[in-house]
Structures are given as C-alpha cells and as structure tokens.
Amino acid sequence: MKPLPHVVIVGGGFAGLWATRALASAPVRITLVDRGNHHLFQPLLYQVATAGLSAPDIAAPLRHILRRQKNVEVRMATVERIDAAGKRVVLDDGSSIDFDLLLLASGATHAYFGNDHWAAHAPGLKTLDDALDLRRKLLLAFERAEATHDPAEREAWLSFAIVGGGPTGVELAGTLAEIARHTLKDEFRNIDPARARVRLIEAGPRVLSSFPEALSEKARRQLEALGVEVSTGTPVADITADGYRLGDTFVPAKTVVWAAGVAASPLGRTLGVALDRAGRVPVRPDLSVPGHPDIFVAGDLAAITQDDGSPVPGVAPAAKQMGRHVAQAIRARLAGRPTTPFRYRDYGNLATIGRMAAVVDFGRLKLSGLLAWWFWLVAHVFFLIGFRNRLVVLLNWCWAYWSYQRAARIILGEDRSDTK
Amino acid sequence: MKPLPHVVIVGGGFAGLWATRALASAPVRITLVDRGNHHLFQPLLYQVATAGLSAPDIAAPLRHILRRQKNVEVRMATVERIDAAGKRVVLDDGSSIDFDLLLLASGATHAYFGNDHWAAHAPGLKTLDDALDLRRKLLLAFERAEATHDPAEREAWLSFAIVGGGPTGVELAGTLAEIARHTLKDEFRNIDPARARVRLIEAGPRVLSSFPEALSEKARRQLEALGVEVSTGTPVADITADGYRLGDTFVPAKTVVWAAGVAASPLGRTLGVALDRAGRVPVRPDLSVPGHPDIFVAGDLAAITQDDGSPVPGVAPAAKQMGRHVAQAIRARLAGRPTTPFRYRDYGNLATIGRMAAVVDFGRLKLSGLLAWWFWLVAHVFFLIGFRNRLVVLLNWCWAYWSYQRAARIILGEDRSDTK
C-alpha cells in the first residue's frame, strides 16, 4: 500500500489549526509543528497582560484539541528553516521533517522598523510569555512608584506610554487607565494610582485607522473619558530606559509598550521567494507560493489582496478562512482537481476600549459604547476554544464588572528588565 | 503627639497576614514586607504544578487583601537581614526600615540536607514560580518522550520520581499518575502516557508519617490503585540529570521532584540567636525571641513544642494561630500587660492523594477514600481567600471531575533546565 501523502503544517495559530481540522477526513497524514504546546486565542492576549485573565484561560493544548483527529501528529518543536527544494522542514536541533505538501502559517512578530534597540525598553505582545512579562512590568511600575522617595522618579514610574493606536494599543491603553483609576484604588499609601499618566501614541492621523472615521473619533472620546491622553500625528522619535521622545519633547516614562507594528515571521525568508516590504510572502490566488505549488502560506505571513485591491487584513477571521481554504486546495491537489482562488469574507470589525466601551463596524451596522461592548464580549467569548475556558472567562468578566477587580494581579517570574 | 509604634512584619504568608489582620484596630503603624506582591494559598500549590489550577487562582495581591486596613503599608521588597540590635530590617537595596516591634514570618525553603547539587536536577515546590517551573518540566517530559526515537531515552523521559512521602509528595505523585493515565489519554501518537512510571520515594518506614499508621497504609493502597509505585525505607542516594540511585540501583529518570524536606528561611540566622537543627528559631512561650522581647517569630520559622513535648507542625493552621497570637502579644506589650503562652489547637490533619482519594484524621474521626476527599475539597476551597477564587477553583474542580481534564496545561516560559 502506498503511504498517505504527508502534509506538514507549521504553526498552531488560527490558520494552522483551522487547516488541520479541515483536513480531518482527508486521505493524508498530518504533522502539526508549533514552538509552544498550545493554541492561543490572541484577541484576548491583552487581558492576560493587564491581569484580567490567567494565561491558561485563553489557551488550550494543541494535543488536546486534536486528540480525536487520528491523522494528526502534534510536534512541539522550533522550525529553523524551510528547505523548499528538498521538501523538508529543518528544526533547530538539526533534524528535519520531509513533506509532500506544506502549509507555512508561522504568523507575525513585533517590528521596530529599524529601531531594534527599542525592543529592550518597549516590549511587544505576541505570546503568552510576552503577556506575563508585560503584566509584571505594569504591576511592578506601581510598586516602584510606591517605594521611591524621589518625586521625579515616582512620576516616571507612573508615566505609561502605549505606542501604536491599532486595536491592541487601544485595548491596552483603555484597560491600563481603568486599572489605575479603579482597580488599584485605596491600595497604596504613598501614591495615588489614579494620577498615573497613560498616553496612547499613534503616528498616523487617528486611532483605529481600519475603522470608519466616525468610529475612530468615538474611540478617541471613549479613551479620553477613561483618562487616556491620545496623541496622534507624531511618531515616537526615540525610546530609552527612562522615557520617550515625541517631536522635540522628552517625556520621562519607565513603562513603554510597543503595539505599533508587526513583521512577518522570519521563516518566510527561508522560502527563497521575493517578499513584500513587511516580509510577507505574496501568494498566488490559491494561497500557494509562486514556483512551489506544494507549499502554501496562510495567516499573517501571507500577502494577498482582495478584489478591490485592498490587502486581506491580519485578523483572526482572515487567518481561519485562509487555513480552511488551504485545506480545500490540498484536497483538490490530491484529487487532481484545479484549486480555486481565495476570497476573504469580511464579516466586520470590532475593537474594545475598556470597561463597557467598544466600537463595532459591520458595514451598515455601526455601534459604539456599551452596546458595542456587549457585542464584542459575546463574540469573543463565543469564539474561545473549549467549554471550560468560556465559562471561566465569562465568570471573570462578571466578577470584573461587578467589582472593578482583576483576577490575575499576580507578579510572576523574575524582573529581567533593565528598569528594575 | 507621639507617633504610633511601628510594627514591621516580614512575610505575607499565613503567619504574617493573620498577624497583620489581627492588628487592624491596634494603636500601631504596620509595614508588611514581602518579596512577592501576593499572599499564596500554599496547600493548593501542587495543583498549579500539576496544571489543575492557574497561578492567580490560589493567590491574591497583599495590597488588595489589606486595602481597607488603613494602618498597614505593604512593601514589595526583599529583606537581606535583621539588625536586631539596631532594631531595623535591612533590604537588599541597602535601605532599611526601623521597627519598634518585629514579626519575622519568612517561612521555609527547600532543604537538600547537604546535597545542594541535587537542586538543579530535583526542583522543589515553595513559590508560584517553582510551581510554573515544575509544570513546564512535567509537561515537557511527555513532549520529549513523544519526540525521541531512542527507546532508552523515551523510557527515561517517562520515568518520574517524587522524593519525600509527606503530604506534598503524596499529592504530587497521585496527581501525576492520574495525569499520565487519564488526562493525556489519546493525545500522543508515539508513546502511551499511561505507561509512565511514577515512583514515590520515602526514606522512612511509611508515607504520611504524621498520620496514624492505619491511614498511612490506606494512603499507600490508594496511591498504588492510582498506579504509583511506593518505595519506603530507603533514602535516595544520588540524583543526577539522568536519574537517581536508590540503594545500589540506578534508575533512569529525567524528572525528579524534591518534596523531602524544608529548612527555615535564612533570615533566622541573621537574628544572632541559637537555632535548632532545621535552622528554626527556638522561641519563648509567647513567641518572642530569647533576649529580644520586641522581636517575634511565627510560622514555619518558629520552633516551639506543645505541652506533650511534640513540635508544633509546619502547617497552615499552626501558622495562622501563631500569627494571631503574636498580634495579641504585641497588644499586651503595648498596654503594659504580660503576654500569654502560645497553645496550638490541633483541629486535625488532612491530605489528598488524587482523584477522589484522601485521608482525614480528626482524632476520633478518621476517614479515607471518597468521603475524605470531599471533606478535603470543602475545607480547602472554604479557606481560599477571596470569593472569586473560590468560585473559579470550584468550577475547575467540577470540570476536572467531569472530564478528567486539567485546565492549565500550558507550557509557559523558557526551559532553563539542564535536561533540555
């Protein structure tokens, strides 16, 4: 008997996991490779960073999700490069995995646009470990402010900046302002956490630029109502251990968070094809790599435009759709049928801002404020994987709503930052 | 107006926190110093290590617990030594805190009895960071076993040893056997996790030696029913990165956990008084330090005997009682009244073994098995601090009972072990 074709899927995010599941009944053997042991529900990662949720609340072991899908083997391993000509995936321990068909869905990472030295002072948010590091950094800042006797130093510890006014930046800024003003109330004796300065810095003309202008404006007003200073139109010129420079002004701030940009996973470079400016792989309409019909790219690493010429956005629904499309293309390829072009179906766009505030854009239906927040909450909890996670997350939210408290305000791990 | 006397409390565990609360209405200023930002419910720490609970489920920020007690300032700082003569607590940044009265309640840490080089291969379990490290180590062992092609190496990755047959060792061994046999079922393709060897090694003649012999025997039988090999009467002779030696036999095992012994916090040594063999401070009947009537010691760091000559055990109820007693002694001292001797009230002893199995010893009432487990569950959830934690923990337990699943099987942080 001929062995079944071997499909290797790199990355257990939305694209990789949805492709894997869609191949459940296909006549293939699948190996799913991921650096971590879990699928991460990235849209709620900022909640772990801001101590609202525990890390396991928004993640589930890949093995567990796929335990009943017998044609999949899950490998926890780090991929070093793709050997496209040799049709194998090379791991960091030097071993390799041969493939007949490959889906590369290794996503994106932070990008500092040529200012990589900012990374040490302005960490980003992509993994659970990032989120726990950021949580420690945010909570420790208030501790340091309480402990110091130097007024200037105290002010610097109570000065926070979030660089980047996209959904992640807006969520972080809104939640941080809420923590300072409500959650930490009455807990300190030498500082008033409510006097913390939370600044959201967007280089472009408005926050949430992927939303219609009216909603951007509403988001700005909701942020300001929560106590966030919104700065638009000027990019950050420098970030150091002690603060940041905006235009000609240096602002002391011990805590700067990077939410300004992502670059595609470096594995794209190892394919040996031309990449776009963000390092993404421009794929053919069926999501295969030009010149390599057996290699597909999906999710944040894939560059593809919609019929109107706009790029398919780097959001979870797009990644899931691409993952499912690749599964379909693989089935077609194996059956000798032609593949079809990928079409992104845009169901809408939502972003949360903080307690009871959000914006929702579903084309004709545009919402902001409390109703949008409820919409956001239901959608996010619904899409969380696993019955138990949903329950725990809902419970946490009810608790947070009722008490203004955040359930995970525990400082874990050592402080490895330069600003100890 | 004369300033209020300054009481410094070192350690936010059961002794320190209970003393702080008991001084809520006393005419004192209190500074509570802890290395972490949280009070930890240590009796459930093994559940975090074995992926049943998230770290924040069993911890709460000290500031939050004490936010309404206006006579307390919480300081997150590491104490380096006590300057008993100078009546000040010296921090690791060189600064110091003067006290009028001191409670030293810095607890205990792992002890390797002169074999400190074992620490790298057999980590212990005292803090939340220890628990997350251990969780990673346990979960990674199964990943490594799945990935290797070498049968001997695979066997070593599937060989686990817990050194120490006290409550923590028994809890860890029972839960680990349950994970191997039930939780991970169907999730691997190259190994059968149920074939993992879980060995509990006790140097003394029986496990749970603080319980009556009949309950020790029941615990042994319940452990064996869960699949744990129980070895008694022989101490571990050596531990390396590749396994352990028991008598003349070297047993390959990549994962060895240390639950065999604790030593008192090294801060006791800096008091300049004679310590007992375990490094604890032999205190006077009112829990003050001989020669230093203004310094008290409580919890695991205090050595004190009961009327029958047996030592007060190092358990949470004893620490709480000591903490409250020190608060009383401080009030008496300030009021010019004589202090009273501490008397430990032993309400009983309970230990859990695994799914639905536990032993309970309340003097005349002795239970084992399912009924004891329910008893254990109710007692532990009841004593957890915080309404929300109790609900989440109960929910997790219901979920675990119903599904055999464990909610926190997420590998966090980097693998810094020598056995990568």
Q: Are residues B294 and B328 in the same domain?
A: yes
Test mutation, A136, A409, A415, chain B, max B CBs within 10 A = A409
Catalytic annotation, residues of B: 171
Q: Are residues B244 and B129 in the same domain?
A: yes
pLDDT at A379: 85
Query: Per mean pLDDT, which range of A153-167, A313-327, A355-369, B113-127 is the poorest?
Result: A355-369
Judging by beta carbons within 10 Å of its beta carbon (0-12, 13-18, 19+), is residue A364 exposed, middle or buried? exposed
Examine residue A57 and state whether it is found in any structural domain, yes or no: no
Q: Report whether pLDDT(B389) > 90.
A: no
Residue whose entry in the numeric block shows the structure tokens 């959608």 = A379
Residue whose entry in the numeric block shows the structure tokens 């500074």 = B31
Q: Are residues B190 and B255 in the same domain?
A: yes
User: Rounded distance, CA B418 to CA A263, Å?
Assistant: 33
Spatial neighbors of B336 by CB under 8 A, at least 6 apart, are: none
pLDDT band at B416 (very low <50, low <70, confident <90, very high): very low
CA distance B29 to chain A (A): 12
Q: Are residues B242 and B154 in the same domain?
A: yes
Give the count of beta carbons closer than 10 Å to the beta carbon of residue A184.
Answer: 24
**Are the Cβ atoms of A388 and B408 closer than 8 angstroms?**
no
pLDDT at A387: 65
Q: Are residues B319 and B357 in the same domain?
A: no
Examine residue B409 and state whether it is found in any structural domain, yes or no: no
Q: Are residues A269 and A354 in the same domain?
A: no
User: Rounded distance, CA B80 to CA B6, Å?
Assistant: 19
**Are the Cβ atoms of B63 and A188 closer than 8 angstroms?**
yes
**Are the Cβ atoms of B56 and A139 closer than 8 angstroms?**
no
- A368-376 long-range contacts, Cβ below 8 Å, gap at least 24? A368/A215, A368/A218, A368/A219, A368/A222, A369/A218, A369/A222, A375/A350, A376/A350, A376/A351, A376/A352
Examine residue A417 and state whether it is found in any structural domain, yes or no: no
User: How large is the greatest C-alpha to C-alpha distance in chain A, in angstroms?
Assistant: 77
CA distance B410 to chain A (A): 6
Cβ atoms of A371 and A356 within 8 Å: the answer is no
Alpha carbon separation from A390 to A212, A403, B45, B270, B401 (Å, rounded)? 31, 20, 24, 49, 18
pLDDT tens-digit readout, B8-31: 999 999 999 999 999 999 999 999
Q: Are residues A142 and A239 in the same domain?
A: yes
Q: Are residues A241 and A359 in the same domain?
A: yes
The interface predicted TM-score of the complex, written ipTM, equals 0.89
Test mutation, A4, A37, A157, chain B, max B CBs within 10 A = A37
pLDDT band at B382 (very low <50, low <70, confident <90, very high): confident
**Are the Cβ atoms of B412 and A73 closer than 8 angstroms?**
no
According to DSSP, residue B104 is labeled E
A403 contacts in chain B (CB < 8 Å): 388
Residue A267 is encoded by which pair of tokens? 């594995």
Q: SS3 breakdown of chain A: % helix, strand, coil, rounded to 5?
A: 35, 25, 40
User: Rounded distance, CA B154 to CA B144, Å?
Assistant: 8
User: Rounded distance, CA A292 to CA A281, Å?
Assistant: 12
- B265-269 long-range contacts, Cβ below 8 Å, gap at least 24? B265/B11, B265/B106, B265/B107, B265/B108, B265/B109, B265/B300, B265/B301, B266/B109, B267/B10, B267/B79, B267/B81, B267/B82, B267/B104, B267/B106, B267/B301, B268/B104, B268/B106, B268/B297, B268/B301
CA quadruple A313, A315, A320, A325: dihedral, nearest 10? 10
Cβ atoms of B259 and B316 within 8 Å: the answer is no
The domain containing residue A26 runs over which residues?
A: 6-35+77-110+262-335
Q: Are residues A174 and A228 in the same domain?
A: yes
Look at residues A289, A304, A335 and tell me which one is the last residue of a structural domain: A335
Examine residue B408 and state whether it is found in any structural domain, yes or no: no
Give me the number of domains chain A comprises. 2
Spatial neighbors of A205 by CB under 8 A, at least 6 apart, are: A232, A233
Interface of B with A in 108-137 (CB under 8 A): 128-129, 132
Examine residue A132 and state whether it is found in any structural domain, yes or no: yes
Q: Are residues B372 and B326 in the same domain?
A: no
pLDDT at A84: 97
> E-assigned strands of A135-183?
159-163
Residue whose entry in the numeric block shows the structure tokens 């293939």 = A28
pTM for this entry: 0.92
Average pLDDT over residues A154-164: 98
> E-assigned strands of B11-95?
29-34, 38-40, 59-61, 72-76, 79-83, 88-91
For chain B, the first-to-last Cα distance in angstroms comes to 62
User: Rounded distance, CA B244 to CA B249, Å?
Assistant: 8
pLDDT at A261: 81
Q: Report whether pLDDT(B415) > 60.
A: no
Judging by beta carbons within 10 Å of its beta carbon (0-12, 13-18, 19+), is residue A88 exposed, middle or buried? middle
Q: Say which of A68, A73, A143 has its CB closest to residue B189.
A: A73
Query: Per mean pLDDT, which range of A171-180, A216-225, B97-106, B384-393 is the poorest?
Result: B384-393
Check which CATH number belongs to the domain holding A150 and give it: 3.50.50.100
Strands B288-289 and A101-104 come out as unpaired
User: Rounded distance, CA B409 to CA B275, Å?
Assistant: 41
Q: Report whether pLDDT(B386) > 80.
A: no
Cβ atoms of A204 and A213 within 8 Å: the answer is no
Alpha helices, DSSP H, located in A268-386: 316-335, 370-383
User: Rounded distance, CA B179 to CA B405, Å?
Assistant: 8
Residue whose entry in the numeric block shows the structure tokens 């990374």 = A119
Examine residue A210 and state whether it is found in any structural domain, yes or no: yes
User: Rounded distance, CA A141 to CA A417, Å?
Assistant: 11
Check which CATH number belongs to the domain holding A315 and give it: 3.50.50.60
Cβ atoms of B15 and B105 within 8 Å: the answer is yes
CA-wise closest residue to B177 among B216, B217, B130, B225: B225
Examine residue A71 and state whether it is found in any structural domain, yes or no: no
Q: Are residues A241 and A135 in the same domain?
A: yes
For residue B34, the Cα-to-chain-centroid distance in whole angstroms is 16
B129 contacts in chain A (CB < 8 Å): 412-414
Q: Are residues A131 and A249 in the same domain?
A: yes
CA-wise closest residue to B178 among B204, B198, B158: B198
pLDDT band at B48 (very low <50, low <70, confident <90, very high): very high
pLDDT band at B420 (very low <50, low <70, confident <90, very high): very low
Examine residue B224 and state whether it is found in any structural domain, yes or no: yes
Higher pLDDT, B307 or A256: A256
pLDDT at A364: 85
Interface of A with B in 182-211 (CB under 8 A): 184-190
Test mutation, B48, B187, B403, chain A, max A CBs within 10 A = B187
